[in-house]
Structures are given as structure tokens and as C-alpha cells.
Amino acid sequence: MSLPYILVLYYSRHGATAEMARQIARGVEQGGLEARLRTVPAVSTECEAVAPDIPAEGALYASLDDLKGCAGLALGSPTRFGNMAAPLKYFLDGTSSLWLTGELVGKPAAVFTSTASLHGGQETTLLSMLLPLLHHGMLAMGIPYSEPALLETRGGGTPYGASHHAGADGKRPLDEQEIALCRALGQRLAQTAALLEKGRG
């Protein structure tokens, strides 16, 4: 039997969301579980996908089995007009087989995002990602205000999930508070998933 893992599933165009995913994965590992980093391909303008099965760099593409087998999920996307990016939505739209069998019911889930502007729809994007997860019966988790960085941040960070202000050029690195909140979210997710797994055991 394989060990429980948290699936850190994201789409990243310029690298900021991918860096958040890596920080969340570190938090997951600090929380005592394995982190499995996965991404999704860009949506093709062609009728059939033309991208290779394995990306040239970064995380592997996610499969439904990655999602089915996870003990918990961290889902991340840059903001697109206050909503999740189309490639991530496209992947989630293809998960109805897991919904029909209830594979994700009762598993903890958290969300994260990155925006070019400080008030560029971070919270609405986070909420948009939670909607399909709630339909799957997952247990939505945020960041409590007991995390000091949530009160100290001058960049990203919300109680709905981790966030990052990447700047107009997309090159602003994660600051100290944003990193702390990513790791705190990953750790909380892993610890909760471990407790739930223990309860099922």
C-alpha cells in the first residue's frame, strides 16, 4: 500500500504559482506527509491537443489517478479576471468520473493563487477554485489568523488560502510572509489529512 500524499496541483504561466506550489509542498513535508507536485497543460487552440505527454520542464502533468489517490489537495492558479485559469478549470471539468464514485468526499483541500496587482481578484479566484471542490464533497481549509504572517503581510495572504502579489511584470519574488503562509497552509493540510487517515484506519 502506498503512503498517503498531498497532491499539489497547479497551473503556472510565469513561474510565481509554481514557486508557491513548491513552498506549499515544503509545508506538507514539514507536516509529515509526502507532497506530489503536478501541473496541467495549457489549453490548446487546436481541436486536438498537440502538447507532448511530458512537459519539457517542471512538474509532470496530473492524471485522474493522482487526484483519486491523494489524501488531500492543494489547488493553485494565477488569476484570470478574478477566476481560475482555463487550463485548471478544463482539468477539473474532466473529473466527473471521480464525482460519480465519491472518490474525493471527506478529503481536505486548500487553494492558492498569484496576481499581478495587489487587489487583482485574489479572493474571488480562491473562492472560484473552492466551488468544484465543494461539489466533490471535499473539506475546504483556509489559513487561520493564528498564523502571525496573515496579520503582518504587505503582499499576498488571505484566510481563504495562500496568495502572492507578483507585480505588473510578474517577477516580484515571494516575500517572507507569503512564504510563511504557503508553508503554513501545506503543513495544516498535511496534518489534517493525517488525522483523517488515522480516523479511517
Cell numbers given for 139: 473539506
Q: For 50-59, 138-147, 191-200, which range has the lowest pLDDT when averaged over its residues?
A: 50-59
DSSP class of residue 161 equals B
pLDDT (tens digit per residue) in 155-168: 999 999 999 999 99
Taking residues 77-97, report their average pLDDT: 96
The CA-to-CA distance between both ends of the chain, in Å, stands at: 13
Q: Please name every residue paired with 79 in a beta bridge, in sequence order, or none if there are none.
A: 84
Local confidence band at 48 (pLDDT 50, 70, 90 cut-offs):
low
Query: What pTM, to 2 d.p., does this model score?
Result: 0.95
Cell numbers given for 30: 514539514
CA torsion angle 177 20 141 75 (round to 10) = 160
pLDDT (tens digit per residue) in 140-149: 999 999 999 9
How many angstroms separate the CA atoms of 190 and 97, rounded?
A: 25
How many angstroms separate the CA atoms of 155 and 143, rounded?
A: 15
How many angstroms separate the CA atoms of 36 and 137, rounded?
A: 21
pLDDT reading at 198 higher than 90: no
Q: For 20-29, 130-139, 165-174, which range has the lowest pLDDT when averaged over its residues?
A: 165-174
Predicted confidence at residue 49, as pLDDT, reads 61
Length of the chain: 201
pLDDT reading at 47 higher than 60: no
Predicted confidence at residue 58, as pLDDT, reads 83
Local confidence band at 99 (pLDDT 50, 70, 90 cut-offs):
very high
